[in-house]
């Protein structure tokens, strides 16, 4: 799902902001996403890997264990970069990598580093990554609650150097799309004196 991609790009262009997009190989292989992926690259946004098939690398309840064999994990990442190269992404300029589900362990970080990658994640506590939740989930949070939590975090911790993650696509059952509120978030952050940058 990437139904909000065009709207996000339009907002970033209007606000003169370069963003960072992390795309799976499965996403990149879909014909319907070729045009917008090309646009993301052409407009100068950072484009990095998010795994090839969005595998869960470690159990939710025990991060120390691994669910994917070493060679399979390396293949998953390598295949993702192969797809990125088809869009002109030079792997040596796309070393920042977000693991699938934003969930990883020491082993997967080490294996990614063998490929020259730097594993990183969104800033914990910013709340916005929960924009994937749907009303049927126990952990569902509306866009307003996510925005409130983001700015509560800003008051407590500040957002200098923070990575704020917003998904440009979510399940259809979530009609309350956080990406629709991106202009408002940008405006409030600018009013607080923040500037924006890509990786």
Query: pLDDT tens digits, the chain, 199 residues: what are they?
Result: 799 999 999 999 999 999 999 999 999 999 999 999 999 999 999 999 999 999 999 999 999 999 999 999 999 999 999 999 999 999 899 999 999 999 999 999 999 999 999 999 999 999 999 999 999 999 999 999 999 999 999 999 999 999 999 999 999 999 999 999 999 999 999 999 999 999 8
Are 11 and 183 contacting, i.e. CB atoms less than 8 angstroms apart?
A: yes
Q: Does the residue 199 lie in any domain?
A: no
Q: What pLDDT, on the 0 to 100 scale, is given for residue 91?
A: 87
CATH of the domain at 47: 3.20.20.370
Domain final residue pick, 71, 99, 121: 121
Residue 66 phi, psi dihedral angles, 5° rounding: -120, 140
Q: Does the residue 87 lie in any domain?
A: yes
Residue 129 phi, psi dihedral angles, 5° rounding: -60, -15
* Token pair belonging to 199: 């990786």
Are 45 and 19 contacting, i.e. CB atoms less than 8 angstroms apart?
A: yes
Rounded to whole angstroms, how far apart are CA atoms 167 and 28? 16
Domain membership of residue 55 as a residue range: 1-121
Q: What is the DSSP string of 115-163?
A: TT-EE--PPTT--GGGGG--TTSTT---HHHHHHHHHHHHHHH--TT--
pTM of the model: 0.95
Rounded to whole angstroms, how far apart are CA atoms 88 and 94? 11
- What is the tally of structural domains in the chain? 2
């Amino acid at each position: 799902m990437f139904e909000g991609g065009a709207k996000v790009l339009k907002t970033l262009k209007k606000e003169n902001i370069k963003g960072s997009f992390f795309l799976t190989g499965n996403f990149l292989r879909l014909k319907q996403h070729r045009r917008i992926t090309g646009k993301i690259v052409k407009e100068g946004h950072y484009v990095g890997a998010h795994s090839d098939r969005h595998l869960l690398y470690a159990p939710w309840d025990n991060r120390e264990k691994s669910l994917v064999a070493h060679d399979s994990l390396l293949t998953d990442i390598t295949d993702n970069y192969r797809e990125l190269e088809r869009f002109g992404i030079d792997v040596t300029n796309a070393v920042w990598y977000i693991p699938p589900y934003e969930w990883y362990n020491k082993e997967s970080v080490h294996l990614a580093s063998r490929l020259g990658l730097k594993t990183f994640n969104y800033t914990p506590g910013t709340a916005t990554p929960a924009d994937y939740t749907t009303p049927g989930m126990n952990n569902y949070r509306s866009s307003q609650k996510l925005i409130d939590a983001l700015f509560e975090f800003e008051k407590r911790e500040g957002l200098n150097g923070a990575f704020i993650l917003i998904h440009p696509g979510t399940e259809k059952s979530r009609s309350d799309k956080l990406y629709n509120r991106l202009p408002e978030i940008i405006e409030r952050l600018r009013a607080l004196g923040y500037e924006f940058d890509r990786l």
